[in-house]
Amino acid sequence: MQKRIRRGGQARTRPSLVAAKARQSYLSQPFREKLANGVTIVGESIPSVESTAVGVWVNFGSRDENKEENGLTHLVEHMVFKGTRNFTADETIEAIEGRGGYINAFTTKEFSCYYAKVFKEDIEPAIHVLSDLVLYPKFEESDLRNERKVVLSEMQEVSDDPEDWGMDFIEERIFAGNSLSMPIIGKASLLKSFTSEHLRSFHSKNFTADRIVVSVVGNFDRTSLMYLANKYLSSAQTSRKIFVRRKPAENAGRRIVVHRGTGKQAHLLLGVSASSLNDPDRYASSMIGVILGDGSSSRLYKSVREQSGLAYSVYSYGSAYADSGILGVYACTAVRDIFEAEEKILSTINQFVRDGPTEGEVLRAKAQLKAGIVFSLENLWDRASLFARDELYYRERSNVLGSLASIEKVTGADIVQAAKKYLTKESMTSLKILPNAANDLPYHKKDATSVRQKSNAER
């Protein structure tokens, strides 16, 4: 499962746009080709390296499931490694790790990805194994019985982490009534009901050629790559179903207290709907998160931790999707300080919305966003991921210089406009996670809703 973008950590050196332009050859665009059945291949050959990163992406995630299917995409990710048409479970791993490579997979709300990094001479076994995982898993019932236990353990691990659990809870509330509200990992009751036949039917219906993007970056020959892609992926079937996602409606914010756990700390999360990956103001929206809660120079870090001593950990986080997104704030504090911490966070946000960013904050936010792009291009897998995501979300080749230029064009006024659009009191959902020992304390009455919430592992 893919983790959200958590903002924080050490400050990064600001990359110069002039320097980026000087490296234009380094920021070259990938090639893009399609197989006859609709599988898309994007890639970039870099002869100076000794390895190759290969990812097979499927444009289908948990938001594309029906309610009765919730968790199946994630379960497929687990089960494909139990054996395929051409490889046993051990042979799948040995074919990559036995050659010194690395193989893994993850599922998000909008896609799943199966990937490997290998030496340049091992690109064929990598593509063979990954294509088998995506196209020809066996889904044996005996393997499913064992893997259910693994996924249930994973559910419990998420449930035991208030941070992760709280972020899932916030998304459930903000996207209520839409499939984006469903957890990637699913629910225990559904997981226990799935059979191998469920998996086979679900997989054949949704893991189709028109939804597959293969992204390859590293030392390879383009002609040879296309030969391998045709050899191992041309048999994939194309779906006849029109692929449509329903945009989530705007939901009013809520104030919620949840009692769970035995710890002595309280966890506070605030969340609002924010820009999608396709919105014109997506960079301005991202800069809001950077200015408010990214690192020790952010406003929330200074006001909540340094000036008030109300929390050790406080940061902003974000999740962006094709047609919506979330901007959130997380803080961990003492139970007695949680209301004061919330008031300090809200006052900091309100001041930002009212007065806007300083010139220095705008420059820092631009530097952070550009650094995230430029630095990722120095890693083969991150580079392959960028190319695949641009294909999945924008149906076009990556334009790194265009993205850097778009970031540079954002003004302080653009950020203010985005802040006033998204950071409204009416749309903000507040979640306080408190230990059970704090159940009867009178200050809970300040909040409108107090509930005991089951985790996905208990549902």
Report pLDDT for 307: 96
Catalytic pick from 44, 65, 69, 77? 77
Mean pLDDT, to the nearest integer, of 398-420? 93
Higher confidence at residue 6 or residue 458? 458
Q: How many Å apart are CA 337 and CA 265, to the nearest integer?
A: 10
How does pLDDT run across 309-368, given as a tens digit for each residue?
999 999 999 999 999 999 999 999 999 999 999 999 999 999 999 999 999 999 999 999
Task: State yes or no: pLDDT of 449 exceeds 80.
Answer: no
Q: How many Å apart are CA 231 and CA 438, to the nearest integer?
A: 62
pLDDT band (50, 70, 90) for residue 459: low
Lowest average pLDDT, out of 27-36, 56-65, 96-105, goes to: 27-36
Domain 255-451 class? alpha beta
Task: State yes or no: pLDDT of 7 exceeds 50.
Answer: no
pLDDT band (50, 70, 90) for residue 10: very low
Report pLDDT for 172: 95
Task: State yes or no: pLDDT of 113 exceeds 80.
Answer: yes
pLDDT band (50, 70, 90) for residue 193: very high
Mean pLDDT, to the nearest integer, of 394-421? 92
Looking at the chain, which residues constitute the CATH 3.30.830.10 domain(s)?
A: 30-233, 255-451
Q: What is the CATH number of domain 30-233?
A: 3.30.830.10
Mean pLDDT, to the nearest integer, of 213-231? 98
By C-alpha distance, which of 398, 395, 375 is closest to 387?
398
| DSSP-derived secondary structure for 167-223 | HHHHHHHHTTTSGGGS-TT--HHHHHH--HHHHHHHHHHHS-GGGEEEEEEES--HH
CB atoms < 10 A from the CB of 380, how many? 20
Lowest average pLDDT, out of 22-31, 170-179, 190-199, 445-454, goes to: 445-454
How does pLDDT run across 137-163, given as a tens digit for each residue?
999 999 999 999 999 999 999 999 999
Greatest alpha-carbon span in the chain? 70
By C-alpha distance, which of 107, 9, 7, 63 is closest to 318?
7
Report pLDDT for 325: 96
Mean pLDDT, to the nearest integer, of 53-62? 97
Report pLDDT for 12: 35
Report pLDDT for 23: 46
Report pLDDT for 398: 74
Which residues are CB-neighbours of 199 under 8 A, at least 6 positions away? Answer: 72, 75, 76, 79, 137, 139, 144
Task: State yes or no: pLDDT of 20 exceeds 60.
Answer: no
pLDDT band (50, 70, 90) for residue 40: very high
User: What's the whole-model pTM score?
Assistant: 0.89
Lowest average pLDDT, out of 187-201, 392-406, 429-443, goes to: 429-443
CA angle (361 as vertex; 267, 412 as ends), nearest 5? 110
Report pLDDT for 458: 62
Question: Is 154 a catalytic site residue?
Answer: no
Report pLDDT for 455: 64
pLDDT band (50, 70, 90) for residue 72: very high
